[in-house]
Amino acid sequence: MSRDPLALPDRWLHCPKIGSIVEDIFVPFKTPLDERFGVNIPSDGLRWEPKDVFSFSKLRKLEIGAVVDLTNSARYYKPDSFARNNIHVEKIACRGHDESPDEEATARFIDFCSKFRASNPHRRIGVHCTHGFNRTGFLICAYLVEHENWDVRAAVAVFAKARKPGIYKQDYMDDLIKRYGDPDEEEEPIEAPPRPLWEAGNDGAVTSASKAFMEGIPGVSFLDDDSKTSQVQDLTAKLCGYKRQGFPGSQPVSLSRSNMCKLAEAEYRVSWKADGTRYLMLIDGPDDIYFLDRDNAVFKVNGLRFPQRKDIESHLYKTVLDGEMVLDLDGDRKVPRYLIYDIVHIGKDAVGQMPFDIRMNCIFKEIIEPRREAALRGVINMAEEPFALRKKEFYEIEMTEKILAEKFQSQVSHEIDGVIFQPVKLPYISGRCAEILKWKPPHLNSIDFKLKIEKQGCSEGMLPKTIGALYVANHGGPLSYLEKVTPEARALDGKIVECKFKGKGWVIMRERTDKSFPNGYKTAVGVWDSIKYPINQADLLQFIRMRARGSKRKADGDFRAPPPVKQKP
């Protein structure tokens, strides 16, 4: 049965129509569909036709003089739809999907654009693939690098700013680095941002169900507004001082034998590692309170107030908190609480630049105490709020043994799966922070993979073998494989799964419904190192006791980590 010639491209309907201008040269947008496709478009506001590109160009005074069509199809519109408005269409078909433009297509694109600019210096070039992100971004970046002598990372960043979230396929990023990185240096990979939410599902429809908040938490809903979502993401990143794409929260690394010495080289605080869900919170007025998850998805929070310390009637603004949502058990009842363990910005003050102890004091004085005072005065009613807030406590590092003891853990009413070590003098650092260390009991160490169920070729006359390939970000092929492909594993094909190493392979612990992206390669290698050379609780506590006995001695003396346990072949 042949495909409907007027079927919409997958995920096209809710894909953002157009970006802003890139370096006064390019205008990126998704492919227009001519009026014939209108029968399959549910509302006029979702249409995007060649005439709309022209109208937009005229309205914004962009003067688009040429359009480069990178799609691998000729069915979307006829070139004369643009030609009648004196806009030339240049067709450079690229396959797309998981294949970035090859060198021939790149050379054709750069050649056409450079010649067009030379003869039409005041006219812009529209560029589109199906959605206007990956192929489009790749070739615009290639032009900026090859023709304008840009650094590849700067090119990626400027495209992402104009067409958010930018290039979001990791293999395209890897190919850009491979092609344009410094050949004399080992280039750090550019980590692609999470897949945008409009990309979910074949029809492109995005609803609140496409991204769910932590189950059991009332008063929080997915923000299904692209414009407002971008505003929230941009403001949060700005207040965090984060220049890259994606989630701006600080990310710890796994404690291993190679980095354990850090605990002796600097002053640290310790707290329990809650088995909750991580969220940044942005507070920018009484009706503008949001959570951002690790995919940088945005959720609107209703029913909370954050009064200012100096004026209980006034509300906090431009405030960013970091914490985790947990479900505390109170008898048979589950009580949702947001545990605040850091603060990045409040009002006009970038408190994230202050030492950790000052930041913790700020949480108490500027967040917790004003809310208590407001409750006493009747300004807020905490009983009617959707969830409770609490400052998470941190202790001297010598308290690690007590935190891991059964008595302490029995007093905490949610699951604990390890400890977190926070450096005292370090400011808040967005992104991966090698100084913040997390420790889990070896049997709980895990990696979040993307699972792909694949067929592996066998010898002639034999049936192909089904394997569970496990992928991480910033790494070409699978990093490893499932020990066994079960029916339950088959049902999780294409999902993000948390896995632990058992026996000779990986086994699935659970699906990570709160994540759309696997761990990065560096993170995965760090966890694997802690699995191969485990640090058990006795090792950890012995090291901390040695640190306490001789805190002025260097880590390469008495403070060396215990030697790795030899692995059986």
Compute the distance between CA of residue 567 and CA of residue 157 in angstroms, rounded to an integer: 43
- Closest by CA to 472, choosing from 541, 421, 432, 528, is 528
Query: Could you say which of 435, 469, 487 is where a domain stops?
Result: 435
Q: DSSP label at 189?
A: P
Query: Could you say which of 380, 410, 435 is where a domain stops?
Result: 435
Q: DSSP label at 188?
A: P
Q: Is position 538 within any domain? A: no
- Closest by CA to 120, choosing from 66, 191, 159, 52, is 66
Based on the domain organization, do 380 and 465 belong to the same domain?
Answer: no
Residue 512 labeled ligand binder: yes
Query: Could you say which of 414, 435, 456 is where a domain stops?
Result: 435
Compute the distance between CA of residue 516 and CA of residue 200 in angstroms, rounded to an integer: 10
Q: Are 328 and 337 in contact (CB under 8 A)?
A: yes
User: Does the active-site annotation cover 78?
Assistant: no
- Output b/e per residue, 342-381; b: 16+ Cβ within 10 A: bbbbbeeebbbebebeebbebbeebbeebbeebbeeeebe
For residue 369, the model assigns a pLDDT of 98
Based on the domain organization, do 46 and 75 belong to the same domain?
Answer: yes
Residue 324 labeled ligand binder: yes
Q: DSSP label at 29?
A: B
For residue 551, the model assigns a pLDDT of 54
Beta-carbon contacts of 196 under 8 Å, excluding residues fewer than 6 positions away, are 165, 168
- Closest by CA to 27, choosing from 36, 14, 18, is 18
Residue 322 labeled ligand binder: yes
Compute the distance between CA of residue 277 and CA of residue 81 in angstroms, rounded to an integer: 50
Residue 417 labeled ligand binder: no
Q: Choose the catalytic residue: 164, 273, 450, 522.
A: 273
Compute the distance between CA of residue 133 and CA of residue 169 in angstroms, rounded to an integer: 9
- Interhelix angle 152-162/134-146, rounded to 10 degrees, is 140
In this structure, what token pair is assigned to residue 65?
A: 């003089």
Q: Is position 56 within any domain? A: yes
How far is residue 31 CA from its own chain's centroid? 26
Based on the domain organization, do 329 and 418 belong to the same domain?
Answer: yes
pLDDT, tens digit only, all 569 positions of the chain: 334 667 899 899 989 999 999 999 999 999 999 988 888 888 888 899 999 999 888 888 888 999 999 998 888 999 988 998 899 999 999 987 668 999 999 999 999 999 999 999 999 999 999 999 999 999 999 999 999 999 999 999 999 999 999 999 988 998 998 898 876 565 677 888 888 878 764 443 333 334 678 877 889 998 877 678 888 999 999 999 998 777 899 999 999 999 999 999 999 999 999 988 999 999 999 999 999 998 888 999 999 999 999 999 999 999 999 999 999 988 888 899 999 999 999 999 999 999 999 999 999 999 999 999 999 999 999 999 999 999 999 999 999 999 999 999 888 888 898 999 999 999 999 998 999 999 999 888 899 999 999 887 655 556 678 899 999 877 778 899 999 999 999 999 989 999 999 888 899 999 998 777 788 888 899 888 888 889 999 999 999 998 866 654 443 333 333 344 333 32
Based on the domain organization, do 131 and 48 belong to the same domain?
Answer: yes
Residue 514 labeled ligand binder: yes
Based on the domain organization, do 115 and 250 belong to the same domain?
Answer: no
Q: Is position 266 within any domain? A: yes
Tell me how many degrees the CA angle 44-49-51 measures, rounded to the nearest 5. 110
Any idea what the CATH number is for the domain that residue 490 is in? 2.40.50.140
Any idea what the CATH number is for the domain that residue 97 is in? 3.90.190.10
User: Does the active-site annotation cover 273?
Assistant: yes
Q: Are 198 and 16 in contact (CB under 8 A)?
A: yes
Enclosing domain of residue 110: 26-199
- Closest by CA to 137, choosing from 68, 218, 215, is 68
Residue 330 labeled ligand binder: no
Residue 267 labeled ligand binder: no
Element (H, E) at 65: strand 64-69
Based on the domain organization, do 308 and 428 belong to the same domain?
Answer: yes
For residue 74, the model assigns a pLDDT of 86
Q: Are 32 and 136 in contact (CB under 8 A)?
A: no
Residue 378 labeled ligand binder: no
Extended strands (E) in 148-239: 220-222
Beta-carbon contacts of 80 under 8 Å, excluding residues fewer than 6 positions away, are none
Based on the domain organization, do 82 and 175 belong to the same domain?
Answer: yes
Beta-carbon contacts of 392 under 8 Å, excluding residues fewer than 6 positions away, are 271, 274, 323, 324, 339, 340, 341
Any idea what the CATH number is for the domain that residue 291 is in? 3.30.470.30
Question: What's the burial of 39, exposed, middle or buried (CB within 10 Å: 0-12/13-18/19+)?
Answer: exposed
Q: Is position 556 within any domain? A: no
- Closest by CA to 167, choosing from 92, 250, 96, 64, is 96
Q: Which residues pair with 324 in a beta bridge?
A: 278, 339
Q: Choose the catalytic residue: 15, 129, 240, 499.
A: 129
Q: DSSP label at 488?
A: H
Following CA atoms 519, 521, 523, 529 in sequence, which dihedral angle do they give, to the nearest 10 degrees? 130
Compute the distance between CA of residue 73 and CA of residue 34 in angstroms, rounded to an integer: 14
Q: Is position 4 within any domain? A: no
Based on the domain organization, do 450 and 431 belong to the same domain?
Answer: no
Based on the domain organization, do 395 and 475 belong to the same domain?
Answer: no
Radius of gyration of the chain (CA): 26
Compute the distance between CA of residue 452 and CA of residue 363 in angstroms, rounded to an integer: 43
For residue 282, the model assigns a pLDDT of 99
Residue 510 labeled ligand binder: yes
Compute the distance between CA of residue 39 and CA of residue 16 in angstroms, rounded to an integer: 20
How far the first Cα of the chain sits from its last, in Å, is 54
Based on the domain organization, do 172 and 259 belong to the same domain?
Answer: no
Q: Which residues pair with 289 in a beta bridge?
A: 283
Compute the distance between CA of residue 418 and CA of residue 505 in angstroms, rounded to an integer: 23
Question: What's the burial of 111, exposed, middle or buried (CB within 10 Å: 0-12/13-18/19+)?
Answer: exposed
Q: Is position 388 within any domain? A: yes
Element (H, E) at 433: strand 431-439
Q: Is position 49 within any domain? A: yes
Q: Are 267 and 425 in contact (CB under 8 A)?
A: yes
Q: Is position 120 within any domain? A: yes
Residue 438 labeled ligand binder: yes
Based on the domain organization, do 37 and 81 belong to the same domain?
Answer: yes
Number of domains in the chain: 3
Based on the domain organization, do 256 and 175 belong to the same domain?
Answer: no
